Amino acid sequence: MLKKKKIKQNINIIIILSFLLMILLIKIDFFRQIYFLSENNYNKRMVKNHGYCGKDSYGFLLTLKEKFKFIKNPRILNSDVIPPSDWIIYDSNKNFQKKPNIFLNYQKNPSLIFSPSNSNFKSKGRVQFTNMLDSITFKINDKNLNLKNNINIFKIRNGERKIIFNKYFDKKINDSENINISFKTEEFNARWDPIYIEIENFDYNKNKISSISLNFKNKYQFNTNDILFSEGNCYYIK
């Protein structure tokens, strides 16, 4: 009798333990699902706020982190004038790559548009990572424009005017014509300082020029064979 009673007790204990274990597993799965949902919602919110390929490109960098096992922290260059995006995938236990290999909001041929502003033309926006002024384009309010003027391109830093480019133009210019310059410099790169174009002895009141575009070459050029992964204008290269 005692043996049967003990067996029955053991069976009851096993049933109770099995029941408790089942409840525990259900709860673990429940909390796991809650975690994944929370994590998923967090990532969606971060992508919405910081962009997939745009702004900080949070989604693109997260995809790279999951897809590739970085031995070193990649060098990230973001062409948008915003704080660095390294925080998204930075690992304090790793060193940095020597050369940039992630390019966000990349523009192979960036440009700056200038609008009339008092006695000169002022840039809209900024340009980064260029090492050459490739050409100048004049948008004029007529079929053509006869220029016989000296053109100065400058920026003002700490209250001082710094000439970046100077050239005398003696040319009949057609509307939207690209005028080749091929002037090597990195002085156009700026995060905060606006750039100005001054045409000496030019009558701004006649409103002959509606805008001027400076067209650049990106300092970092690569081809399709160099690309390991890309989305839009975001690239991870060898």
How do residues 79-99 score in pLDDT, each as one tens digit?
998 889 999 999 999 999 999
CB contact at 8 A, 133 and 219:
no
Is the pLDDT reported for residue 78 higher than 90? yes
- pLDDT attached to residue 23: 59
30-34, 69-73, 179-183, 228-232: the lowest-pLDDT one: 30-34
Residue with tokens 């064979």: 225
- pLDDT attached to residue 101: 96
17-21, 91-95, 175-179: the lowest-pLDDT one: 17-21
At 204, the amino acid letter reads Y
Long-range contacts of 114-120 (CB under 8 A, 24+ apart): 114/195, 114/196, 114/197, 114/211, 114/212, 114/213, 114/214, 115/211, 116/204, 116/207, 116/209, 116/210, 116/211, 117/196, 118/204, 119/198, 119/204, 120/196, 120/197, 120/198, 120/199
Is the pLDDT reported for residue 46 higher than 90? no
- pLDDT attached to residue 19: 57
Say how far apart CA 221 and CA 107 lie, in whole Å.
Answer: 10
Q: How far apart are the first and last CA of the chain?
A: 78
Q: Choose between 29 and 187: higher pLDDT.
A: 187
Its pTM stands at 0.77
- pLDDT attached to residue 9: 57
